[in-house]
Amino acid sequence: MVIRYILFFALVSLSAQAQHSYLFPILPGENALLAGTFAELRPQHFHAGMDIKTQQREGLSVKCIERGYVSKIIVSRTGYGNAVFVKHTTGETSVYAHLQQFNPRITQYLRQQQLAQGTTEIMVNPKANLLPLQRGEELGLSGNSGGSMGPHLHFEIRNAQGLNVDPLNYSFKEVQDDIPPVMEALAIRTLSGDSRIQGRFGRMEYSLVREESPKPSVHLYRMRDTLRAIGEIGLELLAYDQSNGSSSKNGISCLEIHVDGRELHYHQLSQIPEAFTDDINIHTDYATYYETGKFFQRCYKADGNDRVPIYSTGSGKLRITNKAVHQVTLTIWDHFQNKTQLHLIVKGEATEGNSPDPNLRWSVEENWLVIKGSLPDSLNVYLPKGQQTLTAVYPGCYLWDLRKGLPDSLDAGTKRIRFNFVGTAYPQQQGKVLNDRLTLEWKPGSLYDTLYVMLQEKDGKLLVGEPTTPLKGKITIHYQPKSPISLYEKTALYREDKQSVFVGGHWKDGQLHAETRFFGTYYLATDTLAPTITPVSISSRQLRFKIRDNLSGIKSWKTRIGTETVILDYDEKNNLLFSEIREENHPFRGELKLEITDNSGNKATFGRPNLN
Please write the tens of the pLDDT for every residue from 161-218.
999 999 999 999 999 999 999 999 999 999 999 999 999 999 999 999 999 988 888 9
Q: Is there a domain that residue 148 lies in?
A: yes
Same domain, 15 and 133: yes
Alpha-carbon distance 136 to 27, whole Å? 10
Same domain, 411 and 501: no
Find the domain containing 546 and state its range. Answer: 532-611
Same domain, 371 and 387: yes
φ, ψ (nearest 5 deg) of residue 557: -155, 150
Same domain, 476 and 558: no
Same domain, 554 and 464: no
φ, ψ (nearest 5 deg) of residue 394: -160, 165
Which residue intervals of 21-137 are DSSP H helices?
104-117
Which residue intervals of 60-184 are DSSP H helices?
104-117
Same domain, 372 and 303: no
Give the end of a domain, one of 419, 449, 468: 419
Give the end of a domain, one of 507, 526, 545: 526
φ, ψ (nearest 5 deg) of residue 369: -85, 120
**Three-state SS at 363:** strand
* Contact of 124 with 107, CB cutoff 8 Å: no
Alpha-carbon distance 296 to 23, whole Å? 35
Residue 217 pLDDT: 84
Residue 106 pLDDT: 98
Q: Is there a domain that residue 455 lies in?
A: yes
Alpha-carbon distance 503 to 301, whole Å? 32
Q: Is there a domain that residue 175 lies in?
A: no
Alpha-carbon distance 143 to 75, whole Å? 13
Alpha-carbon distance 204 to 59, whole Å? 47
Q: What is the CATH number of the domain that holds 23?
A: 2.70.70.10
* Contact of 38 with 115, CB cutoff 8 Å: no
Alpha-carbon distance 575 to 569, whole Å? 11
Residue 353 pLDDT: 61
Where the chain has pLDDT below 50, the residues are 1, 3, 6-18
Same domain, 235 and 343: yes
Strands (E), 191-226: 196-197, 203-211, 218-223
Same domain, 16 and 165: yes
C-alpha pair distances (Å), 552 with each of 486, 515, 523, 556, 557 = 17, 16, 13, 12, 15
Residue 87: other Cβ atoms inside 10 A: 19
Q: Is there a domain that residue 450 lies in?
A: yes
C-alpha pair distances (Å), 165 with each of 47, 148, 241, 294, 569 = 11, 21, 18, 25, 31
Residue 12 pLDDT: 47
H or E element in which residue 6 lies: helix 2-19
DSSP state of 563: T
Helix then strand then coil, % of the chain, to nearest 5: 10, 45, 45
Give the end of a domain, one of 478, 498, 526: 526
- Cβ within 8 Å of residue 158, ≥6 positions away: 92, 93, 94, 95, 164, 165, 274
524: nearest Cα among 483, 465, 469, 473 = 483
* Contact of 582 with 540, CB cutoff 8 Å: yes
Domain count of the fold of the chain: 5
Residue 319: other Cβ atoms inside 10 A: 16
Same domain, 263 and 368: no
Q: What is the CATH number of the domain that holds 599?
A: 2.60.40.760
Q: Is there a domain that residue 177 lies in?
A: no
Q: Is there a domain that residue 73 lies in?
A: yes
**Three-state SS at 119:** coil
136: nearest Cα among 46, 63, 28 = 63
Residue 114 pLDDT: 95
Same domain, 310 and 294: yes
Alpha-carbon distance 365 to 367, whole Å? 6
Same domain, 367 and 249: no
Q: Is there a domain that residue 356 lies in?
A: no
Q: Is there a domain that residue 354 lies in?
A: no
Q: What is the CATH number of the domain that holds 484?
A: 2.60.220.30
Residue 492 pLDDT: 98
Same domain, 458 and 540: no
Question: What is the number of residues in the chain?
Answer: 612
